[in-house]
Structures are given as structure tokens and as C-alpha cells.
Amino acid sequence: MLLITCPYGLSSILNNDIKKLWHKSFDTFDTWTFVDGWLAQATHINLSSRIANKVYLRTHEPSLCTNFDDLFDLTTSIDRSQYISKGHGVSIKVHLRQSIIDSASSSQSIIHKAIMTSLTWSKEATWDIDPDLKAQSLFVVINKNVCTIYINTSGDSLHNRWYKDATGDAPLKENLAAALIQLANRKYSEPLIDPCCGSWTLCIEAAMLAKNVAPGLDRYFAFEQFPCFDKPSFEVLREKAESSIYSKPYPIFWYDIDPEMIEIAKKNAKNAGVEEAITFEAHDILDTEPSYPNNATIVSNPPYWIRLPWDSLDKIHEEFAQKISKKTVIITGYPGAKKYFPYLARSNKNTKNGSEEVKIYLSK
């Protein structure tokens, strides 16, 4: 059993993403989606999901835990030798809901003690933690007194692709950008435009989707350190993903008022292997008459942060509203945006970019 997390508000897009990878989700609760599978399915989803944050693997059958003795016994019963190699530390996060055990910090201590005790029983008492190795992390859920322990197979959140060397102000998280591109639901042969592109997160994710570049192709995953990791099978999966990249160019156009973003953004696109798919121009959305092709789709994250004067934010959002005859997906935290996209607000979605509340407006 796998538990896959995603940014708030995006679980339906995650479900589509998972279905495309031929896995079936069977339950979704807020930002959590449950999928039938074991490590082979987890490796596939880690490599290929554009929307997931983390993929957790359940380590045992869920079990009733109403006190710390139960929790200790359950933890020692896990076949730790499958997941934690010698030298790795273990970090523990506990999520409690409607349960008799009501202290996350005490639960963490008990679980940690149980893991160390099971190491002693397995005659590995000299378990020196190697500071060069990343700790493995457990996610423990006690819901209505039923405890499930998961191990994080991803490591760092999957929104961390490998391509970003630098960013501008307020960059979008990569999986949120990928979700916007998927919401736009465009034909890849039709032009895509971001008039306020910043460090190009949207355009790089759009080009990666169009070229079928797997988002996890060149990053590290926690499962690579599991003793049960099947490296040859993963290499086959990675090689298959590499050979499935299309070389066709796609019409993607990106503008920003700030020409300094070009160098940063070009480097990121080069790292992602998609620079030839993208055309960039420095351009002020307020100065120039728009000459976007009729069949263009606009996907953008206009400026909305507090330090810009509100009248200029108003003008920029108004300008977007005038372009709305085209298929458009806008993500913005600017409260005044509602005025310009009233008909979009009905189908809006609330989400977060990091800690910031933002709304997604769709023209369809």
C-alpha cells in the first residue's frame, strides 16, 4: 500500500496523473491519496509523477494501538532490514487523529526507542550513524487508534526536480506549475504563452510534459538506499524513460519585464534539456499591444506580492482579463483578481504555493 501526498487542492489532478501511470488510486483524503502497490510501483511514481510531493510505502498491516506498549511492539515487528541500511539515522513524523494516544512527541520517542531496541536484538548494537548518509524518514499515522507506519521512499519532496540552479522572486513550485499546465489541457502543437514567466517554471514544466521528460530522471530518491532496492529494475525503468523523450520542438513563448531573468531561466531550461522548445523576449505586458495567436493558451503566474503597488497589480490583472478570450489558466494570490475574473471564480481552486494562499482561475 502506498500513500501519496500532493499540494493542497490538487488531489484530483494527482489522481489523473497516477491513472496515466497505470496505477489505480482507491481513496483520497484531502492531500493524501492511497494506491495499491509496493516498492516497484513507488519507484515508478517517484520517477514519473509530475504532481506528487512524496510517496510513502506502508511497512506492515494497520494495527490497533491504544497505548505506548502497543506502539512499541508494532514498531519492533517491522522488518526494518528491508528499508534501513546500516549507518542511516531515522527521523520520525507522527500524525495523530481522534486517538487515545495524543502526544506526537512521546510517540516519536517510543518509536525511536523501539527501532534502536530492534537493532540491538538483531545484534547490530554498534549502529554508528554515518553523517554523510541521509536519514530515512518514517511517517506514522494513528487514526482512530489504528496505527500505520510508512517509510518515505522519495526523500526530499518531489517538487524538487534537478534543473533549478537559481530562481527569481516568488517562483512557483514545480509540481504546482505542472498541475496548471495539465489544467490548461492544450494540444501540444498549439502555442503556449506565459507573459510573466520569471524563472520559467511554467514553461520548463510545459516543455517537459510535451517532450515526455520524466520529472525524476536525474534526482536522488530515498529508496535507492533501501536494502531491498532492486537497482537493475530501476535502471531499466530509467533507461525506458530516457528513450521515450520526444525531440520534436514545441511552440512555447515566454515573456517577462525583467531581462535579467533570461540568463537564470535559460540555464534552468538547459539543465532540464528543453531550452530549444522555448522562445523568450523581454516584454512589458502593459506597454505592448498583445499579438498572441488566436489558438494560443495562456498559463501564467502574474506578480501579486505585497511590495508591488496595488494599482500596478490591478492593471496587470486587467490586462490578463482582456486576453481571456483565449484559453487561460492564471494562478494568483492577488485578492483584487476576483474583480477581473468573475466568471472564472466559479471554477476556481484554492491552493498554496509554499505557505502562500493562491487561487487558480480557469477559463474553461
Ligand X SMILES: C[S@@+](CC[C@H](N)C(=O)[O-])C[C@H]1O[C@@H](n2cnc3c(N)ncnc32)[C@H](O)[C@@H]1O
Give every CB contact of residue 91 below 8 A, 6+ residues apart in sequence.
135, 136, 137, 138
Stretch that binds ligand X, among 120-128, 168-176, 216-224, 322-330 (CB under 6 A): 168-176
Q: Looking at 196, 272, 360, 362, which residue binds ligand X (CB under 6 A)?
A: 196
Give every CB contact of residue 35 below 8 A, 6+ residues apart in sequence.
1, 2, 4, 18, 23, 24, 25, 26, 41, 45
Binding status of residue 104 toward ligand X by CB under 6 A: no
Judged by CB under 6 A, the number of residues near ligand X is 22
DSSP string over 288-341: S-----TT-EEEE-----TTS-HHHHHHHHHHHHHTTTSEEEEEE--TTHHHH-
Amino acid (1-letter code) at residue 353: N
Q: Is the dihedral of CA 76, 77, 82, 83 positive or negative?
A: negative
Residue 37 vs 198, nearer CB to ligand X: 198
Phi and psi, residue 20, nearest 5°: -65, -25
Measured CA distances, 138 to 48, 68, 78, 88, 116 (Å): 22, 17, 12, 12, 14
Nearest to 322, CA basis, from 364, 352, 292: 292
Question: Which cell numbers hold the place of 328?
Answer: 487561460
Q: Looking at 37, 155, 195, 215, which residue binds ligand X (CB under 6 A)?
A: 195
Stretch that binds ligand X, among 21-29, 66-74, 221-229, 278-286 (CB under 6 A): 278-286
Residue 35 vs 176, nearer CB to ligand X: 176
User: What is the CA angle 22-26-27, rounded to 5?
Assistant: 135
Adjacent-strand bridge partners of 281: 255
Q: Looking at 198, 237, 269, 274, which residue binds ligand X (CB under 6 A)?
A: 198
Stretch that binds ligand X, among 15-23, 170-178, 272-280, 354-362 (CB under 6 A): 170-178
Binding status of residue 258 toward ligand X by CB under 6 A: yes
How far apart CA 12 and CA 136 sit, in angstroms, is: 29
Binding status of residue 178 toward ligand X by CB under 6 A: no
Q: Looking at 53, 201, 268, 351, which residue binds ligand X (CB under 6 A)?
A: 201
Stretch that binds ligand X, among 5-13, 41-49, 222-230, 281-289 (CB under 6 A): 281-289
How far apart CA 13 and CA 10 sit, in angstroms, is: 5
Measured CA distances, 142 to 94, 96, 149 (Å): 8, 5, 9
CB 258 to ligand X: min, Å: 4
Q: Looking at 9, 171, 215, 216, which residue binds ligand X (CB under 6 A)?
A: 171
The H or E element containing residue 206 is helix 201-211
Spell out, one character per residue from 293 to 312, where the chain touches ligand X: x when CB under 6 A holds, - when not. --------x-x---------
Binding status of residue 172 toward ligand X by CB under 6 A: yes
CB 169 to ligand X: min, Å: 6
CB 175 to ligand X: min, Å: 12
Binding status of residue 351 toward ligand X by CB under 6 A: no
CB 273 to ligand X: min, Å: 18
Q: Looking at 140, 256, 280, 341, which residue binds ligand X (CB under 6 A)?
A: 256
Report the interface residues with ligand X, using CB under 6 A.
167-172, 195-196, 198-199, 201-202, 256-258, 261, 284-286, 301, 303, 316
